[in-house]
Structure 1
Amino acid sequence: MNIAVVFAGGTGQRMNSKSKPKQFLMLHGRPIIIYTLERFEQHPDVDAIVVVCLSDWVDELKRYINKYGLTKIASIVPGGDSGQASIRNGVYEAARLFPSDSVVLVHDGVRPLVDSRTISDCIDCVEERGSAVTVVPAIETIVQSTDGVIDNIIDRKRCQLARAPQCFRLGELREAHERALDEGLTEFIDSASLMAHYGHTLYEVEGSPANIKITTPSDYYIMRAIMDEQEDSQFFGF
């Protein structure tokens, strides 16, 4: 089975939205989280979706899921006190519901522009090789610095940006979360860094540059422009 764990537990402080979390901001009458969930709902190889949501917004999310007729939502669980804890909640719930050899796709609720091909490529990579991380090439110079002084310029050709989905065998990801919890390790930035820490080889899957994360107001406007262009191309054949 192929299970998506969609993390929608962030508060969106960098978005400067005072009324609601960023995943519930509206675009063309729909919240961002619904656009994201629909990408997995509509993919023929995704069997079920577990959503991690801010506890105060679970009822609101359920209303949207019913309104838009999403049928693959297997469970909604509340987030934790950190990103790692929230993803762990979702992984544990997925492991409770589905076999340990399932492929799990961990995805950000505020990445609504992931395309079907990327999802398929990630699933194929886990089945054929092992843990998969979506990446895009770095297009700007990356530097390292110490105390405000640049001391290393990294070869851009060897650099990529990690994005999502990040995909693993469900049992292996659950085990990694259990080990980190037992060892008191709580600062992993994402599932890829967690799995790498425990010795798992990570294979790259090149994704689309359009698959951005909506973190700041400028990201929101970029997303809106991309989605408008995609919609126009369907009608006018651009």
Structure 2
Amino acid sequence: MNIALIFAGGSGTRMNSKARPKQFLQFFGKELIIHTLENFQNHQEIDAITIVCIEDWIPYLNKLLTKYDISKVRTVVAGGKTGQESIYKGLCATKEYAEKDSIILVHDGVRPFINEDVISACIKSVKAHGSAITTVPATETIITTENDKITSITDRSKCQLARAPQCFYLDELLEAHNKAIKDSNTNMIDSASLMKFYGHDLYTVQGNVDNIKITTPADFYTFKALYEVRENQQIFGL
């Protein structure tokens, strides 16, 4: 099985939204989480979806899943205190229904521009190498600092920015999480960092540059512009 694990546990504080978390804000008539989910719902190679959600918003999410006929969702679970704990809870819930050698694609619910080609490439990379970390080229200079002093400048041509999805075999990612729990290692920033720490080789898949994470008001305006460009391309064949 190829399974998408969608993290929708953020509270949206950077979006300055007092009424609802950012993943439930409406854009062009649909909630942001639905824009994201439809990419996996409509992909032929995705067999199932698990969603990790803020507990109080699960009933509302379930209504949206019915409204928009997101039928591949097998389970929705409450998130934890941290992103790492939330992903772990999602992995455990997924394990309950997943088949042997299932591939898991960990993706942010607020990255709505993931596309079919990238999803397919990620699945192919996991089958070939055991991992797929979606990346885009770094476009600005990367520096290292200490006490406000620049200690090194990295060759930008060798740098990539890690994005999502980050994909692995389900059992291997779950095993790494269990090791982290045993080691009290709770501060990993993402699945790639966790897997690298526990000795796994990571392979990259070139992602689409517009697959941004919507976390701030400025991101909303970028999303709006990108969405309108895509709509115009479909209508006018640009």
Question: Do these two structures clear the TM 0.5 threshold for a shared fold by scoring above it?
Answer: yes
- Partner SS, residue 145 of structure 1: strand
Q: Using structure 1 for the length normalisation, give the TM-score.
A: 0.98
In 2, the alpha carbon distance for the partners of 1:146 and 1:216 equals 28
In 1, the alpha carbon distance for the partners of 2:16 and 2:154 equals 33
In 1, the alpha carbon distance for the partners of 2:127 and 2:63 equals 35
In 1, the alpha carbon distance for the partners of 2:171 and 2:152 equals 39
State the match for 2:172 in structure 1. 172
Q: What is the correspondence of 1:129-208 to structure 2 with a 5 Å cutoff?
A: 129-208=129-208
Aligned residues of 1:100 and 1:169 also touching (Cα < 8 A): no
Q: Using structure 2 for the length normalisation, give the TM-score.
A: 0.98
Q: Deviations over 1:164-185 (max 9, x none)?
A: 0000000001111111111111
In 2, the alpha carbon distance for the partners of 1:117 and 1:97 equals 26
Aligned residues of 1:80 and 1:86 also touching (Cα < 8 A): yes
In 1, the alpha carbon distance for the partners of 2:201 and 2:102 equals 18
Q: Deviations over 1:104-129 (max 9, x none)?
A: 00000000000100000000000011
In 2, the alpha carbon distance for the partners of 1:10 and 1:80 equals 11
> Unpaired segments of 5 or more residues in structure 2?
none
Q: Kindly provide the amino acid, as one letter, of the partner of residue 134 in structure 1.
A: T
Q: What is the correspondence of 1:29-68 to structure 2 with a 5 Å cutoff?
A: 29-68=29-68
State the match for 2:18 in structure 1. 18
> Unpaired segments of 5 or more residues in structure 1?
none
Q: What is the correspondence of 1:76-115 to structure 2 with a 5 Å cutoff?
A: 76-115=76-115
- Higher mean C-alpha displacement, 9-18 vs 53-62: 9-18
What is the number of equivalent residue pairs in this alignment?
238
Q: Deviations over 1:36-60 (max 9, x none)?
A: 0100000000000000000010000
Aligned residues of 1:5 and 1:50 also touching (Cα < 8 A): yes
Q: Give percent identity, aligned residues only.
A: 51
Residue 100 of structure 1, CA deviation = 3.9
Q: Kindly provide the amino acid, as one letter, of the partner of residue 14 in structure 1.
A: R
